[in-house]
Structure 1
């Protein structure tokens, strides 16, 4: 797996809403804003499924996703791609539920998407846009 560097981790910490893109097994795209997206370590991201429909269906069919890090306080722009595992029980799932419910008591916190980072690309406009960084 790929490990995010310090600049990417700092960018991650400044983003409040994460655009998350998935595709069905037939390639039909879907992108949604995700509020609960947590960097667990240099190569693992947790995403809470509170209200997912198409996103959850897509990652069950095609366990890959992409998200990007960008915002007014973020230096640069990074596109992160990863492999997804849907978790609905166990220690990681319970820890995610506790974190989500502490922030939003009525959240359903139905599933945990565990994303292992596989690639990172630049999405900053200019000649390096689209270049693979990791």
Structure 2
């Protein structure tokens, strides 16, 4: 697992993340996740409220990619991870429920933890797309 640094945490707290999954037939699904936030240094969390295609893709085993971008700074990150669903009676779900209540959102169907596999920079320039722990010579 990879570690979220302070720069990534700050960007996730400020900017709107966009997540992507893929169906078992290979059809991409993408959308904003306004509840996506840091759960701990190696995990993200969001409230699954709609129970639509993203949820089905997770149930079918899709990985998840999250992009968060600071457009004026030409900076950003792509985080790739493995999602895990949690329902009522679990600590992640309790976290999601508290977040929903605090932010005037509806009760979530599930909490989704995203266990981080890799992090890439989206910063404009020669390092764009580079895995954060990848040495420069590996590019």
Q: Is TM > 0.5 for Structure 1 vs Structure 2?
A: yes
Q: Is 1:91 aligned with 2:91?
A: yes
Cα 1:71–1:129 change in 2 (3 A) is same
Counterpart of 1:108?
Answer: 107
- Structure with higher Rg: it is 2
Aligned length: 132
Q: How does 1:1-134 map to 2 (within 5 A)?
A: 1-15=1-15, 17-72=16-71, 76-89=75-88, 90-105=90-105, 107-134=106-133
Unpaired stretches in structure 2, ≥5 consecutive residues: 134-139
CA contact under 8 A between 1:68 and 1:78: conserved in structure 2? yes
Paired with 1:56 and 1:9, the residues of 2 have a C-alpha distance of 24
Cα 1:5–1:50 change in 2 (3 A) is same
SS of the residue corresponding to residue 124 of structure 2 reads coil
SS of the residue corresponding to residue 62 of structure 1 reads coil
CA contact under 8 A between 2:74 and 2:123: conserved in structure 1? no
Unpaired stretches in structure 1, ≥5 consecutive residues: none
Cα 1:73–1:36 change in 2 (3 A) is farther
Instruction: Kindly state the Cα deviation for residue 118 of structure 1 after the two structures are TM-superposed.
Output: 0.7
C-alpha RMSD over aligned residues: 1.7
SS of the residue corresponding to residue 70 of structure 2 reads coil
Paired with 2:12 and 2:98, the residues of 1 have a C-alpha distance of 21
Paired with 1:5 and 1:91, the residues of 2 have a C-alpha distance of 24
Paired with 2:39 and 2:73, the residues of 1 have a C-alpha distance of 19
Instruction: Kindly state the Cα deviation for residue 74 of structure 1 after the two structures are TM-superposed.
Output: 5.8
Instruction: Kindly state the Cα deviation for residue 68 of structure 1 after the two structures are TM-superposed.
Output: 1.1
Spell out structure 1 runs of 4+ moving beyond 4 A: 72-75
